[in-house]
Structure 1
Amino acid sequence: MAPPLADLIAEQVEQASRLYHRLVIVAGPPRSGKTSALRDLHHERGWPLVNINLALSERLLELSVKQRALRVARIVDDIVHEQAGNVVLLDNIEMLFHPDLQQDPLRLLQTISRNRIIVATWRGVHLGTSLTYAAPDHPEFRRFEEPQALIVSSGGVPGSSGATSAQEHSA
């Protein structure tokens, strides 16, 4: 029997501290246990848990569409820096993929993971050396080859069984 998803994530957090990009991505489809695992880690270890959609939308409200695209990376960085501790859990990151914000969400997460360990949920799958976000017919679909992050696959993906797949790629 596979260990609980929260335990797999915690193992990857330990490994992430030695990497250039201290990024752990928890990939899986909706309702595959990603948010529950982050909540468990928040309660068990005291790591801050941030709903990026909520925190970011509150700060973008008064900005024009152009200002939003220009400032979103700095705002996300500020949100992370406001959290205590060396590990920050990010849930509900879908807003980072919105076309109006003109972001490369993976690169943004990698950038903020230089100074802290970032664990982010990811609505997609990790197969081989690629990481996808959303379904291919979805307007926010993205495929990233060799994502330079540690990947934990949550349930609901054929063949994943909650198993962890870690990849380290030097920058």
Structure 2
Amino acid sequence: MLPHLPHQVAEQADKAGPLYYRLVILAGPPRSGKTRALHDLHSKHGWPLVNINLALSKRLLDLTARQRALRVARLVDDIVQETDSETVLLDNIEMLFHPDLKQDPLRLLQSLSRNRTIVSTWRGAHVGESLMYATPDHPEYRRFDDPQALIVSSAGPSGTEAAPDQEQSA
């Protein structure tokens, strides 16, 4: 991870305040420093850091498959609200993309970001005006055009770490 990445994310979180969606997405491939950046932000600013896969899976255990699909958005909202913070860091959001949950993960993150700033990791890339999750050959691959979020890329276009000034925002 490049040392400037947490700083870039914090700058975007500050800019998100007046926006309709106060959503900052830290996009990049696995092992590109996204989680480390969130841990640094948590340490420096005291912003709560939530592992969505862990917190959500605990709440879904006793539900049927149908109940899971119907309640997942509300459960994630409850998890975020419990932090009682103006800025919340979300990591490990892969579960939101599971086909059985039938969610639109970007819309879910956008709805969470209406009343607080949400900073979320995103396993994928930001290319032009599009945000992609996973790779096209992956079953959970999704492409979102015009994501209406501020985007910080943790990797360059070839999958290498970004140059210090390489930041993209929508």
TM-score, normalization: structure 1? 0.94
Task: Report SS of the residue matched to 1:62.
Answer: coil
- Equivalent residue, structure 1, for 2:4: 4
- Equivalent residue, structure 2, for 1:115: 115
Amino acid at match of 2:105: P
Q: 1:156 and 1:129 mapped to 2: Cα distance?
A: 15
**Cα deviation, residue 157, structure 1:** 3.7
Q: 2:105 and 2:140 mapped to 1: Cα distance?
A: 11
Q: 1:18 and 1:128 mapped to 2: Cα distance?
A: 24
- Equivalent residue, structure 2, for 1:138: 138
Query: Are 2:94 and 1:84 equivalent residues in the alignment?
Result: no
Query: Are 2:137 and 1:161 equivalent residues in the alignment?
Result: no
- Residue by residue over 1:25-47, the C-alpha shift from the partner in whole angstroms, topping out at 9 and shown as x without a partner, is 00000000000000000000000
Task: Report SS of the residue matched to 1:124.
Answer: strand
Q: 1:141 and 1:70 mapped to 2: Cα distance?
A: 22
**Cα deviation, residue 84, structure 1:** 2.8
- Residue by residue over 1:44-73, the C-alpha shift from the partner in whole angstroms, topping out at 9 and shown as x without a partner, is 000000000000000000000000000000
- Equivalent residue, structure 2, for 1:129: 129
- Residue by residue over 1:100-143, the C-alpha shift from the partner in whole angstroms, topping out at 9 and shown as x without a partner, is 00000000000010000000000000010000000100000000
Q: Which runs of 5+ in 1 are unaligned?
A: none
Name which of structure 1's ranges 79-88 and 65-74 shifts more when overlaid on structure 2: 79-88
Task: Report SS of the residue matched to 1:32.
Answer: coil
Q: What is the alpha-carbon root mean square deviation over aligned residues?
A: 1.3
TM-score, normalization: structure 2? 0.94
Q: 2:45 and 2:157 mapped to 1: Cα distance?
A: 27
CA contact 1:29–1:156 (8 Å) conserved in 2: no
- Equivalent residue, structure 1, for 2:47: 47
Q: Which runs of 5+ in 2 are unaligned?
A: none
Q: 1:12 and 1:100 mapped to 2: Cα distance?
A: 32
**Cα deviation, residue 10, structure 1:** 0.3
